[in-house]
Amino acid sequence: MWLLPSSIIVFTIVLAIPMSRYMAKIMDGRYRPPRVFQWCERHLDSGQQNWKQYTLALLVFNTLMFVFGYTVLALQPWMPLNPRGLGMLAPSTIFNSVISFMTNTNLQHYSGEVNLSNFSQIFFVIFNQFVSAAVGMCALAAIIRAFRGESTVGNYFVDMWRAVAYIFLPIAVILGVLFLWQGMPMTINHSVDQVMTLEPGAMGATDTGQPKPQTLVVGPVAAEVPIMMLGTNGGGFYGMNEAHPFANPSALSNFLVMFGMMFFPFALVLMYGRMLGRVRHAIVIFSVMLLLFAGTIVWAIHFDTMKPNPGLTAHPEARAFKIAVPTAPGGTQTITLPAVAGLPVDQHLGNLEGKELRFGTSAGATFAAATVDVTCGAVNCEHDSLNPIAALSPMAGMWLNCIYGGKGVGMINLLLFLIIGVFLAGQMVGRTPEYLGKKIGAREMKLAMIALLVHPIMILGPSGLFAATNWGMKAENNPAAHGLSEIVYQFSSASANNGSAFDGLGVSYGFNNNPNPAPEAVPWDLATGLVMLFSRYLPIIAPIAMAAFLGMKKSTPFGLGTLRDDTFTFGCLLFGTIVIVGALLFLPVAALGPLAEHLGPIPFGG
């Protein structure tokens, strides 16, 4: 039970330490690549950039990514590698998907094996998964250089190339081979059609009365899964993502997939320390993240793997509640929840609804917690069917959005909490707050707050709007509190650039000519698309600006009154800031969603 998460964490940390050294070497330009790559670097280099030029280059390139992505998806019917003749997605869904993959979110309002050809999988999905992951990493590199007080923060195009070609690519090939060995398909065919099952006819009959074969969708899965995990993208080849046996064939592949998504987020924190020359400080940050990481995993396992699904168990106590009558002021009425007898189901393996068996007992809960902490968004079980209170763990991971977090941006988010923590501490002792020897002024605090507040506003605002209107109510697939959870989860996932979902929510339009799309698919496409856009770029641009302004200031020498940032006390300060500032914002909605469902009548509705 506990061996699975702990062994993955230890394995990842052990490999992340040398990786961080290698990454620091690459991002500092101390690595000499083979000659052909040097040629690429020379031609990409447009000279050293200051923070504004660097940000502009980032935005220009991301705009181009949007155009390219939209074109690839819109032209799907006319592109090669489409033997099943798949049509074009609805325009709103293309808009959503392109932003989703460009922003490293990989929220999917379509189903991979149903809606995308192999061409789109390679030229849209795989392309974005490599490149969008590098964007966040470059942003972090720019911030580090700004913190170091350098007036120029590097060259964006060279940084991108280094991240993609020297960091992601080699590791992706190694993982790809391991995944092939474990059973993932890797073929240009799109389906295996003529497979009659062991019991012909059990799949039903075709229109002509013949026994129906089982159509198996295959494709370049072993190429897509490595970068989808390494880039903390999470947008799967198949609709059910890493729960699908082709995308995750064994316990070992599940282990490696989890390692893949945690590897770079772990290594980036250490890289931050190495590049700043403050490894002890990075270790303090790493430890705070690790504590939160372990906390979310323990919470999920405790409430999902070690507890049965409450929908099937007995609730032997009848309960009565007095509530106010809305129509008669002052009047009360009593609501009685009768006792419920349990169904005879052996649940010693925990809640198995939506879980696969081959990964191991606690694998679903572990994955659910880890995937949101590192903002990957791949899933190996159905989050909608997690036990109500266990689902709080993935939601909290997205709300905090800095427990390692995505490529670079997680670390950036943590820096925001850190700056605020330092600021609060400075206020408490009545000293000008400073970080890395630089005094934090009003301008830096404003930028930090802008970046930090985007997240709750982008989650709670649209959630409230959708929950109150048909947009949300017609999309819910589960009653009462859980329906609200579905809405909140979707916007949390969009805003955290995570990409996992409570799959019950009806947000899929499908192909453009689909006669029966989900009724509110278009508003969902547009709203989550915009949320992803704002929640991606504002928290990248504002911190780069903040770091640049901070870096330009004169360093104050280290003195007796300096707040030391590499101590246990500092770790506690950081932990407290994250929990108090980050979590309190979302406590009310947590009470209305998962907590209410946990405490309320189960089963409900139907």
Backbone angles phi, psi at 471, to 5 degrees: -50, -45
Q: How far is the CB of 191 from another protein (least distance, A)?
A: 7
> Omega before 603 cis (within 30°)?
yes
Dihedral angle computed from the Cα positions of residues 540, 543, 549 and 551, in that order, rounded to the nearest 10 degrees:
-100
Under 8 Å between Cβ of 388 and 310:
yes
Burial level of 534, CB count in 10 A (0-12/13-18/19+)? Answer: middle
Say which residues have a Cβ less than 8 Å from residue 514's Cβ, sequence separation at least 6: 90
Query: Which of 14, 195 has the CB closer to another protein?
Result: 195
Residue 359 binds to another protein (criterion: CB under 8 A):
yes
Spatial CA neighbour of 273 closest among 422, 140, 403, 448: 140
Distance CA 229, CA 173 (A): 13
Backbone angles phi, psi at 286, to 5 degrees: -55, -40
Residue 10 binds to another protein (criterion: CB under 8 A):
no
Residue 61 binds to another protein (criterion: CB under 8 A):
yes
Q: How far is the CB of 375 from another protein (least distance, A)?
A: 20
Q: Map the footprint of another protein across residues 315-334, applying CB under 8 A.
A: 316
Angle, to 10 degrees, between the axis of helix 568-577 and the axis of helix 409-429?
Answer: 110
Q: Among 146, 352, 402, 460, which residue interacts with another protein (rule: CB under 8 A)?
A: 352
Q: How far is the CB of 493 from another protein (least distance, A)?
A: 15
Six token digits for residue 593: 């969603």
Six token digits for residue 136: 């966040």
Query: Which of 353, 566 has the CB closer to another protein?
Result: 353
Q: Map the footprint of another protein across residues 401-460, applying CB under 8 A.
A: none
Say which residues have a Cβ less than 8 Å from residue 547's Cβ, sequence separation at least 6: 51, 142, 143, 144, 146, 147, 415
Q: How far is the CB of 503 from another protein (least distance, A)?
A: 4
Q: How far is the CB of 347 from another protein (least distance, A)?
A: 5
Q: How far is the CB of 115 from another protein (least distance, A)?
A: 10
Residue 339 binds to another protein (criterion: CB under 8 A):
yes
Q: Alpha-carbon Rg of the chain, whole angstroms?
A: 25
Query: Which of 381, 403 has the CB closer to another protein?
Result: 381
Q: Map the footprint of another protein across residues 81-110, applying CB under 8 A.
A: none
Q: Is 142 helix (H, G, I), strand (E, B) or coil?
A: helix
Count of residues that interact with another protein, criterion CB under 8 A? 133
Distance CA 372, CA 401 (A): 8
Q: How far is the CB of 357 from another protein (least distance, A)?
A: 5
Which residue shows structure tokens 């925001």?
A: 416
Query: Which of 3, 526 has the CB closer to another protein?
Result: 3
Sign of CA dihedral 414, 132, 267, 24: negative
Which residue shows structure tokens 């390494």?
A: 230
- Secondary structure (DSSP) of 273-320: HHHHT-HHHHHHHHHHHHHHHHHHHHHHIIIIISS--TTTS-B-S-EE
Query: Which of 288, 544 has the CB closer to another protein?
Result: 544
The span of 265-273, 481-489, 532-540, 553-561 binding another protein (CB under 8 A) equals 481-489
Q: How far is the CB of 501 from another protein (least distance, A)?
A: 9
Under 8 Å between Cβ of 97 and 109:
yes
One character per residue 492-521, x = contact with another protein (rule: CB under 8 A): ----------xxx-----------------
Q: How far is the CB of 194 from another protein (least distance, A)?
A: 8
Q: How far is the CB of 521 from another protein (least distance, A)?
A: 16
Query: Which of 110, 147 has the CB closer to another protein?
Result: 110
Q: Among 310, 377, 472, 571, which residue interacts with another protein (rule: CB under 8 A)?
A: 310
Q: How far is the CB of 342 from another protein (least distance, A)?
A: 8
Dihedral angle computed from the Cα positions of residues 63, 400, 476 and 312, in that order, rounded to the nearest 10 degrees:
140
The span of 277-285, 344-352, 491-499, 570-578 binding another protein (CB under 8 A) equals 344-352
Backbone angles phi, psi at 52, to 5 degrees: -70, -45
Q: How far is the CB of 381 from another protein (least distance, A)?
A: 5
The span of 337-345, 488-496, 519-527, 569-577 binding another protein (CB under 8 A) equals 337-345
One character per residue 363-392, x = contact with another protein (rule: CB under 8 A): xx--------------xxxx-xxxxx----
Residue 138 binds to another protein (criterion: CB under 8 A):
no
One character per residue 231-270, x = contact with another protein (rule: CB under 8 A): -------xxx--xxxx--xxxx--x---------------
Q: Map the footprint of another protein across residues 109-128, applying CB under 8 A.
A: 111, 113-114, 122-123, 126-127
Query: Which of 43, 446 has the CB closer to another protein?
Result: 43
The DSSP output letter for 554 is: P
Query: Which of 295, 360 has the CB closer to another protein?
Result: 360
Burial level of 28, CB count in 10 A (0-12/13-18/19+)? Answer: middle
Distance CA 527, CA 348 (A): 41
Distance CA 589, CA 584 (A): 10
Spatial CA neighbour of 156 closest among 453, 540, 507: 540
Query: Which of 188, 291 has the CB closer to another protein?
Result: 188
Strands 434-435 and 332-337: unpaired
Six token digits for residue 431: 């000293």
Q: Map the footprint of another protein across residues 163-222, applying CB under 8 A.
A: 164-165, 169, 172-173, 176-177, 180-189, 191-192, 194-199, 202-203, 214-218, 220, 222
Residue 40 binds to another protein (criterion: CB under 8 A):
yes
Q: Among 24, 57, 230, 521, which residue interacts with another protein (rule: CB under 8 A)?
A: 57
The span of 276-284, 308-316, 417-425, 448-456 binding another protein (CB under 8 A) equals 308-316
The span of 93-101, 393-401, 478-486, 533-541 binding another protein (CB under 8 A) equals 478-486
Query: Which of 58, 440 has the CB closer to another protein?
Result: 58
